[in-house]
Chains A and B, each alone.
Chain A
Amino acid sequence: MITKVSRREFLAGAAVAGATLTLGCHFEADAGRLIAADAPTLAPNAFLTIQSDGRILITVNKTEMGQGVRTALPMLVAEELDADWSQVAAETASFDPSKYGFQRTGGSGSIRGAWEPLRRTGATARAMLVEAAARRWNVPAAECRTSNSFVIHPTEAAKKLGYGELVADAAALPVPDAKAVKLKEPKDFKLIGQRVARYDNPAIVTGRAVYGLDVRLPGMRFATLLHPPAFGGKAKQVDDGAAKAVPGVEKVLLTDRGVAVVATNTWAAFEGAKKLRVTWDDGPNAALSSAAIRAMFAEKAKAPGDAARQDGDFEAAFAKAAKTLEAEYEAPFLHHATLEPQNCTARVTAERCEIWAPTQFPNFVMDEARRITGLDAGRIKIHVTLLGGGFGRRIEADYAADAIEVAKRLDGAPVQVTWTREEDMRQGWYRPASLHIVKGGLSPDGQPVALLHRLVAPSILGQRQSDGGKGVDRGAMSGIATMPYSVPNFRAEYVRANTGVPIGFWRAVFDSQNAFVQESFLDELAHAAKADPVAFRLRLLDKSPRLKNALEIAANAADWGKPLPKGRARGVAAHASFGAFCAQVAEVSVEDDALRVHRIVCAMDVGTVINPSQVEAQIEGSIAFALSAALYGAMTIEKGRVVQSNFNDYPLLRVSEMPKVDIHLVKGAEAPSGAGEPALPPTAPAVCNALFALTGKRIRRLPIELDA
């Protein structure tokens, strides 16, 4: 494990600064502490600053939410720069698309997006430093090499200059075309592929890491909101007498989004909110319930949907098949339950707005800030904090709207809005619920010859359009339209079934339920064909060699086919998503009427692995996230609102329930895929398939209920 200095130590040592080679911007607040104002700078892009003392600051344009971007993205720069990793510091960019490009963090896309440009950033700076050294030595640049933040001329031992010493000269050189600089061959990587410790470890283990909730400003007020409990509801009447009597409560404000209690501390705000008497208008969704939504899905499922993919002729092949199977599968609405509840801090004056937001998508925060304050973007500053979990929830900006609205009415005083856990749970953007119709046909020799997968589900983007959207929702069909198995007659259909429940992006979103259904039903077909579930899949995966390879590795590592202790069984599932290929084997038992997952063997091919420790962490995390959902996850809707309120009725996986996770990363030379989500989809079906192998009970509805 490679460890390094923390940013705080970096800054502490950075007081003395001379010339600085800045491949990038003029850092604002934070950078002022790093560089002298009159230092020469050079700015081919906004992501790299090298100081004359050899320290290197890398600005990260994605949000750190536990996936390790503040480690992995700097690694890409440092690799091609041949930087001394102990001298590298990371900083999260504030919102400025003109400098930092697209700042949305999601879809397991950070590494994929940064892979080429950030390596080119490092290589560009390296080329300039080499050129500066070569000129000083009067030797051809091609004769110089670099290592550990030094330029070295190999023929004469004395010729070695540190990057810091070369900054002033290099800053005076023209910036080469980043697209023309040469990148390393993978065999020459020194940092990429290493187990590099998370950059934020020292801050996290000492409590110094600053999440949204930890922002503290002079004169700051603390607030919370009660939002309409029913989706689309409104506050009709507010009796705030008792709330205002709570010591510490300063104001009660009716906002566009609810009722805010402003106080001198968060607890007083929470206590005040408990004492509010609000009469709500429940709005258009007052009658909405889980049962009604399920009935609506079932009705819509009767008619064919829009085809997202059509291979051969499903109907004809199904009609002729030697053996046919039909099933209905269901998945519930799910909550993100980030451990840090939604929150945001803002200060608004007539001229300026400054926001400290734990957000995955500052663009949306900016939209809200402009809408609410009427200020131009140039007068709005958005700082992005660390996130106590994101999982897609923090792509939305509703928490920021709350803070900005309240701040606007506090005469320039900063305010931190914190939602209670209960509000967080009930004001979500839930993983969509779905109903799936699946049909399959086998040939006389047990080969699948016909397959239909009809998804009935609301559309995340469609629900945000006035007409609900039309046609196939490609995102919703993720994993179905791309079904990897060779079945000659296959149809993938989407039936749009919007509801009044707010829905949003979740870890692996639709791939989570789509893989559950596809891989469970494939297991049904394998059993109907009296075939081994692994062998059955392998025969169908010739056109997806990377998924096939992952499946073979997982099956071998899990001793597939070999005996297990009595009372245990294995199940398998495989799924490709976010550019990665993942197969898992789960080992389960039922003890005291409870399902126990003992072990998950996971093989995953993400192409080039930047940091094995973090790819493995994402696999462990995805599996735990999937198990919370499979074992417990369900948001129930009654009277147009969410029933669940806290971790008592929305339980999450605990340490005692965590299976042993054995990970096998496939060695690949391909460009890196996403890694934060692709290990989630196979877990639920692998577990359910194992449960079937053990008990003969087929789970077609999540969460798993043994006695249903």
Chain B
Amino acid sequence: MPITATVNGVRQSCNAPPEMPLLWVLRDTLGLTGTKYGCGIGLCGACTVHVDGAATRACLAPLSSVGGKQVTTIEGLSPDGTHPVQRAWQAEDVAQCGYCQPGQIMAAAALLAKQPNPSDEDIAAALVGNLCRCGTYQRIVAAVRRAARLQKGEALAR
């Protein structure tokens, strides 16, 4: 029995085993390689995606757990890379190797969706599970603050 979920707005039916982690369905079945493998045990956050809007470790989420749900990956965060978090990440020149950044960005976007004015403690709490071996943390925090300002500006403009 195939499992059906909406991935980046597109309905996808998948025949993979129900216990197969979402991470590998995304990467190896659907070809969405923006979601990264880092540790496989939920300790690095490189595989962070949104499931019904909540930041979720795709390496720990079995395919069966996303049946009927909305999955958003870094490729689907915005149509053209202009989500406030994506713009802030470029403006702060955050990325070094960049491998962890899709996960960082998805975690930050989920935070700002539910908490538009996060304190530095809120930011640290939301991103503490996302490792960056290159050490871009200082810029990550600055970028989340900037994204919050951008988001506020957009809300005012609407």
A binds B: yes
Residues in chain A within 8 A of chain B (CB atoms)? 1, 3, 65-68, 195, 197-198, 200-211, 213-214, 216, 222, 247, 264-267, 270, 337-341, 386-391, 418, 420-421, 613-614, 617, 620-625, 646-648, 652-656, 658, 660-661
Known: A205-B89, A265-B16, A266-B24. 20 other contacts (CB 8 A): A66-B97, A66-B134, A198-B93, A201-B93, A202-B90, A205-B81, A207-B102, A211-B99, A222-B28, A266-B27, A267-B20, A339-B99, A339-B133, A388-B97, A623-B135, A624-B132, A624-B135, A647-B41, A655-B124, A655-B128
Measured between C-beta atoms, what is the minimum distance from B102 to chain A in Å? Answer: 5
Q: Which 8 A-B pairs have the closest CB atoms?
A: A207-B34, A624-B135, A388-B99, A66-B97, A66-B96, A207-B74, A204-B98, A658-B137
Contact A388 B24 (CB under 8 A): no
Contact B38 A207 (CB under 8 A): no
Measured as residues with beta carbon below 8 angstroms from the partner, the interface class of chain B is 35 or more
Whole-angstrom distance between the alpha carbons of A67 and B133 in the complex? 13
Q: Which residue of A lies closest to B100 (CB)?
A: A339
Whole-angstrom distance between the alpha carbons of A622 and B130 in the complex? 18
Contact B97 A207 (CB under 8 A): no
Whole-angstrom distance between the alpha carbons of A622 and B90 in the complex? 21
Contact B95 A386 (CB under 8 A): no
Q: B113 at the A/B interface (Cβ < 8 Å)? A: no
Knowing A613-B93, A617-B93, say if A421 contacts B40 (CB, 8 Å): yes
Contact B21 A389 (CB under 8 A): no
Contact partners of B90 in chain A: CB under 8 A: 3, 197, 201-202, 205
Whole-angstrom distance between the alpha carbons of A338 and B131 in the complex? 11
Contact B37 A204 (CB under 8 A): no
Contact A213 B73 (CB under 8 A): no
Contact partners of A207 in chain B: CB under 8 A: 32-35, 73-75, 102
Contact B24 A200 (CB under 8 A): no
Q: Which residue of A lies closest to B43 (CB)?
A: A647
Contact partners of A66 in chain B: CB under 8 A: 95-98, 134
Knowing A205-B86, A247-B17, A655-B137, say if A216 contacts B95 (CB, 8 Å): no
Whole-angstrom distance between the alpha carbons of A267 and B41 in the complex? 13
Q: B101 at the A/B interface (Cβ < 8 Å)? A: yes
Whole-angstrom distance between the alpha carbons of A652 and B39 in the complex? 12
Measured between C-beta atoms, what is the minimum distance from B91 to chain A in Å? Answer: 7
Contact partners of A390 in chain B: CB under 8 A: 97
Interface residues of B in 104-138 (CB under 8 A from A): 105, 123-125, 127-138
Interface residues of B in 57-96 (CB under 8 A from A): 73-75, 77, 81, 86, 89-91, 93, 95-96
Residues in chain B within 8 A of chain A (CB atoms)? 16-17, 20-21, 23-24, 27-29, 31-41, 43-44, 46, 73-75, 77, 81, 86, 89-91, 93, 95-102, 105, 123-125, 127-141
Contact partners of B86 in chain A: CB under 8 A: 205-206
Contact B41 A341 (CB under 8 A): no
Measured between C-beta atoms, what is the minimum distance from A456 to chain B in Å? Answer: 29
Whole-angstrom distance between the alpha carbons of A624 and B132 in the complex? 9
Q: Which residue of B lies closest to A621 (CB)?
A: B135
Contact partners of A270 in chain B: CB under 8 A: 40
Contact partners of B105 in chain A: CB under 8 A: 205
Knowing A200-B98, A389-B97, A622-B135, say if A339 contacts B35 (CB, 8 Å): no
Knowing A270-B40, A646-B43, say if A655 contacts B96 (CB, 8 Å): no
Contact partners of A646 in chain B: CB under 8 A: 39-41, 43
Contact B27 A620 (CB under 8 A): no
Whole-angstrom distance between the alpha carbons of A264 and B77 in the complex? 28
Q: Which residue of B lies closest to A648 (CB)?
A: B43
Contact partners of B17 in chain A: CB under 8 A: 247
Contact B135 A389 (CB under 8 A): no
- For B16, B32, B37, B105, the residue with the greatest tally of chain A CB atoms inside 10 Å of its CB is B37
Contact A340 B99 (CB under 8 A): yes
5 cross-chain CB contacts under 8 A: A65-B97, A205-B86, A267-B20, A339-B132, A340-B99
Knowing A200-B95, A647-B131, say if A339 contacts B21 (CB, 8 Å): no
Contact A339 B38 (CB under 8 A): yes
Contact A617 B96 (CB under 8 A): yes
Knowing A247-B17, A339-B131, A655-B128, say if A388 contacts B36 (CB, 8 Å): yes
- For A208, A386, A622, the residue with the greatest tally of chain B CB atoms inside 10 Å of its CB is A208
Contact B97 A195 (CB under 8 A): no
Knowing A216-B33, A389-B134, say if A655 contacts B95 (CB, 8 Å): no
Knowing A622-B135, A654-B128, say if A208 contacts B37 (CB, 8 Å): no
Measured between C-beta atoms, what is the minimum distance from B136 to chain A in Å? Answer: 7
Q: Which of B35, B37, B101 contacts A266 (CB 8 A)?
A: B37
Q: Which residue of B lies closest to A425 (CB)?
A: B39
Contact partners of B37 in chain A: CB under 8 A: 213, 266, 341, 418
Contact A421 B38 (CB under 8 A): yes
Whole-angstrom distance between the alpha carbons of A206 and B74 in the complex? 6
Q: Which residue of B lies closest to A653 (CB)?
A: B135
Contact partners of A201 in chain B: CB under 8 A: 89-90, 93, 95
Contact partners of A209 in chain B: CB under 8 A: 98
